[in-house]
Amino acid sequence: MKSLWIVFMLSLIFVGLTAEGITYPRQVDPSKVKEEWDPLLLIPLFSSFSNSVYTGNYAAAQENITNILISYLPESYRNVLERGASLMQQLLGQLNQTEALINQTETSINQSMFPEARKAISEARVQLSYANITYVSLLDAISVLPLGANRLSQSLSGIAEKIQLLSLTLNELEKIANSEPFIETTISITAEPLVVRWGHYLEIKGRLSASGGDPLPGRTVEVHVGDLIISTVTGEGGYYDIAYNITSYSSQLAVYAEYIPVGDDVFTYRYSKSDILNVSVIYVTPKISVNLNGTSYLPGETIMLKITSYIQTEVPFSVISAIGNYTGTLYNETEVDLKVPSYIEDGVYTINVITPPVGDIAPFVWSTNLTVHRLNLSLSFVLPQRLISGKTYIMNVETPVPCNLSVSSSAGEAKVEGSTIILQVPLLYFGKSMNVIILAVPADPSYSPVIITSSAEVINPIPIAVSITLGAVALLYIAKKLLAVSKEIAAPKLPSIPLSTEEEESSVMGGIYSQIRRLYGIRMEPWMTYREYLNKLAERAEEEIVYLLKDILYKLERFLYGGREYSSLLRVAEERARLLYRKLKSMIGGKK
Amino acid sequence: MKQYLVFGLIFAIAVVLLIVAEVPSKDDFSPDNPLFNGLSQASKIADIQTVTIGSLGSLPPNSTLFIIGPDKAFTEKQADEIRGFLERGGSAVVMDDFGTANSLLMMLTVNTRLNGSLLMDPLYMYRNPALPLVRFDLKGEEMNVYFNYATVLEGTDDGKCIAYSSPFSFLDLNGNGKKDPEEPYGPFCVAESLKNFQGRLIVISDSSVFINSMLDKGDNEKLLDALVGNGRAFLLTGLWNQSEYTLIRSSISGGFSALMNTWLLYPFALALLFVGMEVGSILYIHLQMKSRKGYSQEDIEAILRRHPEWKREEIEELLEEMKK
């Protein structure tokens, strides 16, 4: 038997082993799963951060820090990484600040604001030294990670290189700022004409000279015409001259010239800026009006745009919107019809009407918002408040437009036949309520689909009938049970025998015991058996009394335990008890 | 003897009911299971009600139906009912890894499939590469969610991928737990949202995101809240291979619930009244008889005073006999 068990268990293990393949558990308890961590995987993250810093892509560097923080690290190293990430964050701020100050320095130098430039350099140096300290702290903080000191410093070398690069840049700028150029420059400007037609040329002239009036030939001058910057080089005598074809549709253009020293001039000449001239541009502003036939549309409806042009030239135009597009040519007046697609969702849509620039005619843009909405579909459907299990209900659904109806219910079978819903409540459905859901999809896209959920109380007659029957049975049962219980727990006692018609209210046996107690002083104690009582009585009472009582008790006992067949004995006992009672009473009377 | 049988039976039923009420299920994804693999916390947080196939027709249209880790392949009837729920505007979230949700996706005519190979991430993970971290972008909100023995999705061209694994993640095709040269690197799509009929179908390539032991990791709980939104949440049950205990437990609790909420309550209450009456009468009679049989030491002393010749031991023995 024992060997059979061993064979059985071994076969179970064997079957278990053969069943094992690449079957994964659906899940494991994360608190009990084996920890597997490769610290070397942090190296690419650090390298990526370092490279982002080196290339000045601080946004990417910031993302790298987030990625480092969400990567897995055992709890013992978690605070190290959090400290490292905090230092990286600090480092980014300091480098960013340094670069901002460098930019500020360059701008100041370009505009010959040298004291400001020197101040910015000084502040930048402070920030850079902080960044250097932070970098060293970072290396120190994360040196506890099991990555190896060399590998770690190599992965973050981009930061060191960046600090070095910024330091070199600052040195260069400092050199420029400290050798402050001292020769002021002046740049003049004239423009002809000051009111120019679109497509015509604007002639801009001027001169660049050093303080004292010495011309500065061969210098690059930047001429601003509105938002446009045109670079030109000064000729002999420091003069510059450009002709610019005006193609802007701005009515006013600010025109001025700037001299920004470059190369060796940075150390010699100062920045200068000319006066600003305002040039007016003449072009045709299109007068076009657009009218819509409404502001709110239903799917399937047509949007009618009436576009009127007040210019005597034919211009192309486009209507652009998420509802639909249209391209055509506009002359005097044209009408465009856009049909709102049936599939489009309800919402607010923008309609744009644009004309492109055509020669001296400026572009035109007009836009407005319009609303697309569907009408609410009102379904008329009445589900009875109470449904009876086993019955079939036929209900009509009335809709203002033809609809595709579908119905489902939480119990029973529900189906649609035309516009009629047939609901069958199963006889054996014992739930107290049920839901009926109707989905109506209108054929007309102007209406929204509607879902109606109706609920009704369900009454099942079977359990109600069973309950009533059971209730009636229960009442009978309770009555019977109460009777039986009271009978069961009732102590067997001698029947009460009325002494006479006058004395029926008291017990004859009680009367006998009472008389005997008074005559002989013998009490029927609760613990006494009748025999003990009779024995006691025999010691003091007359033989006849003892005999009579013994006879009565004997007969009563026979009746009590013998049942109905001894009922005649009860009558005899009753008669004799009355006799004995009277006898005892007369004996008491005689004694008195 | 008969009384003992009745009392024994009642006691046994009471013990069984007590066990059923107090000892929860240990099955995966059971909403009653408070252990690591259960969904008791998620059910409590999102007020998830259980629902079975056959009653999806009564769910409100703006509700979210979670279909988590099915063990059995879906039938055409089940798929039809889920399709009906989507047609009415409901949202269904299908969460599976190596299970059988592909059968449902196929019947819903969706091209998305669960790959079935294990997704691992040695860098973005929780303790073990098999518990990878993925990034969700749901309605513009970014969430870091931890998976637990997950796979990836394929054929996600129809819908919008709403979650990706990290570029360090890989598919463990041979199940050796390591990155081999032929095994592809991520990022992989691990969750997709598809507009399906009037409703929305979301497929997530892990069934364990919301189990008790994962809910407090990362933004898993936040994801649950985002998926449920303002509507009501339901968990589709009857898809798992249940243990015998769970089967008995759910049958008893289901039966009890059916009794309490249906017309069957009234006949049941009356039947219970009958049993109560029977038991009560037996108990009452028993107690009455017992109290009557009670004799005190004073009674014995009184008898001995009357009959000093009687032996005390014999009287006591006689009274003990009478008690029985």
The shortest CB-CB distance from B211 to any of A27, A34, A430 is to: A27
A484 lies in a domain?
A: no
Is A174 found in the same domain as A85?
A: yes
Is A242 found in the same domain as A166?
A: no
Reported as a single tens digit per residue, the pLDDT across A527-575 is: 778 888 888 888 888 888 888 888 888 888 887 777 666 778 888 888 8
A494 lies in a domain?
A: no
- For A126, the 3-state DSSP assignment is helix
Is A127 found in the same domain as A57?
A: yes
Residues A310, A283 contacting (CB under 8 angstroms): no
Segment A444-461 shows an average pLDDT of: 85
Average pLDDT, chain B: 85
Token pair, residue A507, equals: 């017990």
Task: State how far residue B277 is from chain A, nearest Cα, in angstroms.
Answer: 7
For residue B39, what is the DSSP state?
Answer: -
Q: Any residues with CB less than 8 A from the CB of A285 and at least 6 apart, and which?
A: A362
Q: What is the largest CA-CA distance in chain B?
A: 108
Task: State how far residue A518 is from chain B, nearest Cα, in angstroms.
Answer: 21
Is A169 found in the same domain as A47?
A: yes
* B-proximal residues of A, 381-440, CB under 8 Å: 406, 408-410, 430-432, 434-435, 437, 439
**CA B242 to centroid of chain Cα atoms:** 10
Domain that holds residue A155: 39-178
Token pair, residue A521, equals: 């002083």
- For A89, the 3-state DSSP assignment is helix
Is A53 found in the same domain as A141?
A: yes
- Identify which has the larger pLDDT, A435 or A366: A366
Residue ending a domain, among A324, A346, A372, is A372
Is A529 found in the same domain as A427?
A: no
Looking up residue A325, the CATH number of its domain turns out to be: 2.60.40.1930
Is A198 found in the same domain as A160?
A: no
A93 lies in a domain?
A: yes
Q: A200 burial class (0-12, 13-18, 19+ CB within 10 angstroms)?
A: middle
A470 touching B (Cβ < 8 Å): yes
Segment A396-417 shows an average pLDDT of: 84
Report whether pLDDT(A19) > 50: no
Nearest partner of A170 among A205, A132, A204, judged by Cα = A132
> A501: how many CB neighbours lie within 10 A of its CB?
6
The shortest CB-CB distance from B127 to any of A30, A67, A474 is to: A30
Is A171 found in the same domain as A296?
A: no
Residues B45, B75 contacting (CB under 8 angstroms): no
pLDDT of residue A503: 47
Is A572 found in the same domain as A545?
A: yes
The number of folded domains in chain A is 5
pLDDT of residue A18: 43
Segment A208-234 shows an average pLDDT of: 92
**CA A424 to centroid of chain Cα atoms:** 39
Looking up residue A403, the CATH number of its domain turns out to be: 2.60.40.10
Reported as a single tens digit per residue, the pLDDT across A183-200 is: 889 999 999 899 999 999
A14 lies in a domain?
A: no
**CA A146 to centroid of chain Cα atoms:** 40
Report whether pLDDT(A216) > 60: yes
A498 lies in a domain?
A: no
Chosen for mutation from B119, B123, B136 (greatest number of chain A CBs closer than 10 Å) is B123
Q: How confident is the model at residue A163 (pLDDT cuts 50, 70, 90)?
A: very high
Averaging pLDDT over each range in A80-84, A169-173, A312-316, A546-550, which range is the top one?
A169-173
CA distance A334 to A245: 34
Nearest partner of A585 among A524, A467, A526, A506, judged by Cα = A506
pLDDT of residue B162: 92
Are A29 and B213 in contact (CB < 8 Å)? yes
A244 lies in a domain?
A: yes
pLDDT of residue A267: 80
Q: How far is CA A232 from CA A71, A200, A258, B32, in A?
A: 55, 20, 11, 81
A395 lies in a domain?
A: yes
Segment A478-494 shows an average pLDDT of: 67
Are A24 and B118 in contact (CB < 8 Å)? yes
Report whether pLDDT(A353) > 90: yes
- Identify which has the larger pLDDT, B300 or A168: A168
A489 lies in a domain?
A: no
Is A249 found in the same domain as A320?
A: no
Reported as a single tens digit per residue, the pLDDT across A317-329 is: 999 998 889 999 9
β-bridge partners, A588: none
What is the block-wise mean pLDDT of chain B (324 residues), using blocks of 10 residues?
71 82 82 88 90 82 88 88 87 87 89 90 90 89 92 86 92 86 90 82 93 92 90 87 80 79 83 80 73 68 80 79 62
Average pLDDT, chain A: 85
**CA B278 to centroid of chain Cα atoms:** 37
CA distance B109 to B82: 12
CA distance B235 to B224: 12
> A388: how many CB neighbours lie within 10 A of its CB?
13
pLDDT of residue A16: 45
Handedness of CA A493, A495, A496, A497 (dihedral sign): negative
Chosen for mutation from B28, B263, B289 (greatest number of chain A CBs closer than 10 Å) is B263
Task: State how far residue B324 is from chain A, nearest Cα, in angstroms.
Answer: 16
Residue ending a domain, among A127, A156, A178, is A178
pLDDT of residue B222: 93
Are A451 and B87 in contact (CB < 8 Å)? no
Pairing between β-strand B49-52 and β-strand B233-237 as defined by DSSP bridges = parallel
Residues A65, A49 contacting (CB under 8 angstroms): yes
Is A432 found in the same domain as A332?
A: no
Residue ending a domain, among A342, A372, A402, is A372
Is A433 found in the same domain as A327?
A: no
- For B255, the 3-state DSSP assignment is helix
Q: End-to-end alpha-carbon separation of chain A, Å?
A: 97
Report whether pLDDT(A17) > 90: no
**CA A120 to centroid of chain Cα atoms:** 48
Residues B59, B51 contacting (CB under 8 angstroms): yes
Nearest partner of B27 among B286, B248, B300, judged by Cα = B248
